[in-house]
Amino acid sequence: MEGKEHEARINYDSGSRNLSLEFTGYYTDILANNTRFWQNLSYIVDLRKHLPELVTISFSAATGNDVALHSIYSWSFSSSLEINDTKTDPGISKGPNSDSNVEENTNVGSRSSGNKTGLLIGLAVGGCVCFVGLGLFVFVVWKKRMRKMNESGDETYDVSIGDEFERGTGPKKFSYNDLARATNKFSQQEKLGDGGFGGRSVLSWGLRFKIAQGLASALLYLHEEWEQCVVHRDIKSSNIMLDSNFNAKLGDFGLARLVDHEKGSQTTVLAGTMGYMAPECAITGKASKETDVFSFGVVALEICCGKRPIDPKAPKGEVNLVDRVWSLYGMGKLLEAVDPQLKRDFNVREIERLMIVGLWCAHPDSDLRPPIRQAILVLNFEASLPDLPLRMPVPTYCTPPLSKSSGISSSMNSETIESSEFTAYSSSASIPYSQ
């Protein structure tokens, strides 16, 4: 365990031939608080059958693919084995000094045993030092190699950036001192703005109404004023671009289709953004002017309410924007749906008219949606408001017989689906309410 001291003991009894090992461990659970405990292993074995007559005692360790540092605080070795290097020849008789010879041989044996013990200790310590040194060497070499790889990558990047600076195609390079001097040491009073687009402020009602009228005009041109009808199929707030005067421009025609004015619709593969897509699109797979009008109605409600078409985190009854606004319309509380960030600084007649037109365009029944030209007349106060039902209609949609040319997935069944089943839309788009 990292940072802990361990102790190990190895004993061998030649009489009982018992080889035993005792070593420490630590409890890792929270209650034990890393308390140390002893563990042991034992095995009956005759080492004379496995080891030569002379052996060297040492120890070593390994860490596999990891790099670790070990420190040895103390170690000891003891043995009760008596080693006698002198042997008496039986053919030689003992002389008068035989006792002194025996004593001398005993002393020589003791010195020899002491020398071997010192040799074993030296070998063990030397082996440990070599092992630790080798580990440190490998670690240092690895660190240097990694540092060189990082430096080579940075140099390649710096060279490419430097080439751009020299050619004048890249940004201009400033030193830190130049930047600190120009900004008065990065003072808050010297800031030019927040973020890439400056500060954020709430769009006024006048600008919002102007954006809605501009989007309606763009849709009128696509549907009626060009030689062919263009069905956009992906009208949403994030596809509305604004110039410096907040004039609305409709963009992203990647899903657009050309349709004859007489035909009015085209069967295609299902495409669009959930929350803005007309409910009948998921059943029939047909893109038409009415499906674009539905998307315009959802965007109009977004502009007035400041909310996304689908908000999964909203309270029950407020998840679907069209359902919520229509419910307030039926209760005569339409103004409660207005964006609170406007702080009641808006034209009541204009905002009521835009929300009612939005509900009209987002009608679940495509046959009851107005042409975009009629919606523009109502927005411009050139036509009267429609008489909408107080409760949102719930029509049914039946799938037509499938054909190979329909472009609809064959996994779609012919079950009847009500518009209430389309309340689980999710949308990643948002109206640009801030300028």
Catalytic center residues: 234
**Cα separation of 296 and 222, whole Å?**
13
Q: Tell the burial category of 403 from Cβ atoms under 10 Å away from its Cβ (0-12, 13-18, 19+).
A: exposed
Q: Which two tokens stand for residue 74?
A: 């103390």
The distance of Cα 435 from the centroid of its chain, to the nearest Å, equals: 29
For residue 283, the surrounding DSSP H or E stretch is helix 281-284
Q: Which two tokens stand for residue 426?
A: 């999710």
Asked if residue 246 lies in contact with residue 210, where contact means CB atoms within 8 angstroms, the answer is yes
**Cα separation of 13 and 172, whole Å?**
81
Write down the residue that tokens 């440190």 correspond to: 136
Closest by CA to 259, choosing from 284, 291, 235, is 291
- Hey, which residues does 38 pair with through a beta bridge? 24
**Cα separation of 296 and 305, whole Å?**
14
Please spell the DSSP secondary structure of 145-207, one letter per residue.
HHHHHHHHHHHHHHHHHHHHHHHT-SPPP--HHHHHHHTTTT-GGG---SSTT----BPPHHH
**Cα separation of 363 and 374, whole Å?**
15
Phi, psi of 413 (to 5 degrees): -95, 180
Rounded to the nearest 10°, the torsion over CA 391, 216, 249, 303 is -30
For residue 259, the surrounding DSSP H or E stretch is strand 257-259
Identity of residue 54:
L
**Cα separation of 46 and 12, whole Å?**
10
CB atoms within 10 A of CB 17: 14
**Cα separation of 325 and 316, whole Å?**
14
How far CA 281 is from CA of 62, 205, 295, 360, in Å, comes to: 67, 32, 12, 18
**Cα separation of 19 and 11, whole Å?**
6
